[in-house]
Amino acid sequence: MRGSSITTAVVIAVLTAVWLASGLFSGEATVDEHPTLKDLNGRAAQGEAPTAVRGRVIRASTLPERVNVRGRTENKRTVDVRAETTGRVVERSVERGDRVQKGDLLCRLALEDRQARLDQSAAAVDQARLEHEGSQRLKTGGLQSETAIAQAKSRLAAAEAGRAAAALDIERTRIRAPFAGVVEDTPLEVGDYAQPGAPCARLVDLHPMLLVGGVSETQAHRIAVGAIATGRLATGAAVSGPVRFVATQADPGTRTYRVEVSVPNPDYALRSGITTQFQVRTGETVAHKVSPALLTLDDAGAVGLRTVDDASRVVFNPVEIVAHEADGAWVTGLAQVATLITVGHEFVVAGDRVEVTLEEDAKDGGSPP
């Protein structure tokens, strides 16, 4: 009984193996290999009716090349105008927010005994001059040595230097604006005793205003000094001006290169520290403006557009996107004038024969930004 069960099991196993083997060697494949786009591209549609598509003739336009920079406004310079001598502050002619011109009085220190010292120095000059002139007359008569004459000349020079120093000390009691600007701070008050180096007023130069930002190492070499930049501040104000500086060393923290644009600001309407975005024009390129929906990929993953050649065959054109706008993308890689497939491009491949119906608006896109 046991031997009969073993024999039955062996027979079933053999029959199962034979059945599986018969399907492996004589069965038909259930799934065909799906053809790739590359295969389809190589198959010319000989003898077949052309595929109906719609298209339009597009013509290239000159597109300005720009580098986009995000930054801020920055005043040209900020200077603490300091005292150069000692003295009590007897007058402060400005308040915070005042506009001043170059040479305007900011603070005045007490003269104290400075005028007396100037008068004394002037008298010393007169005396030294008389002594020098007398030595010259004695020299003519042979009654004065060269040494005595040189000493008299030296005393005259020292007296004149003392007078100039006394006059300069008086001038330093009047602290003046070194350039036109706005008073940002006034540390000294009337009655304070100023020491050399004490700040009388902080002066901010707002004309011209600077647009400051950082660009990457791949963009810095494209920007030239003198190139025109245009931008818009966070406040909505539109600004423009030439590039005045491009750094040759990268910032250690951000690894970007500083770019400065000079913007006229004669009425001081622009404030320092406002966020801004500006563009620097770096050149021109020839490009087409197309709808992003028409962009497609080939088997290699290249981005491109499908056009129609003179033989009514589809051509795949690899393109490069060089700029974006709200209503389209600017691309390079097409012929100066090309017939672009706008409807039906997803149903044809390179090499297919098509029948194109041109749209009434034969030109795609608009004028360059």
Note the pLDDT tens digit of each residue in 110-126: 998 888 888 888 888 88
Fold held by 79-201: OB fold (Dihydrolipoamide Acetyltransferase, E2P) (2.40.50)
CA distance 342 to 364: 10
Q: Which residues pair with 73 in a beta bridge?
A: 211
Residue 201: per-residue pLDDT: 94
* Residue 105: strand, helix, or coil: strand
* Residue 45: strand, helix, or coil: coil
For 24, the enclosing helix (H) or strand (E) is helix 2-26
Lowest mean pLDDT among 83-97, 154-168, 264-278: 154-168
Residue 22: per-residue pLDDT: 57
Residue 139: per-residue pLDDT: 64
CA distance 19 to 24: 9
Architecture of domain 67-76+205-282: Beta Barrel (2.40)
Residue 106: per-residue pLDDT: 95
Q: How confident is the model at residue 30 (pLDDT cuts 50, 70, 90)?
A: very low
Question: Mind listing the pLDDT tens digit for each residue in 324-351?
Answer: 888 888 899 999 999 999 998 888 888 8
Q: How confident is the model at residue 45 (pLDDT cuts 50, 70, 90)?
A: very low
Question: Mind listing the pLDDT tens digit for each residue in 264-291?
Answer: 999 999 999 999 999 998 888 889 999 9
Q: What is the mean pLDDT of residues 30-51?
A: 53
Task: Locate CATH 2.40.420.20 in the chain.
Answer: 41-65+286-358
Q: Are 296 and 317 in contact (CB under 8 A)?
A: no
Task: Locate CATH 2.40.50.100 in the chain.
Answer: 79-201
The closest alpha carbon to 231, from 220, 243, 222, 223, belongs to 243
CA distance 51 to 247: 57
pLDDT at position 75 over 70: yes
CATH of domain 41-65+286-358: 2.40.420.20
pLDDT at position 16 over 80: no
Name the token pair of 350. Answer: 């390179």
The closest alpha carbon to 110, from 32, 53, 174, belongs to 174
pLDDT at position 105 over 90: yes
Residue 74: per-residue pLDDT: 95
Q: How confident is the model at residue 141 (pLDDT cuts 50, 70, 90)?
A: low
Name the token pair of 35. Answer: 């053809």
Residue 346: per-residue pLDDT: 87
pTM passes above 0.75: no
Average pLDDT over all residues of the chain: 84
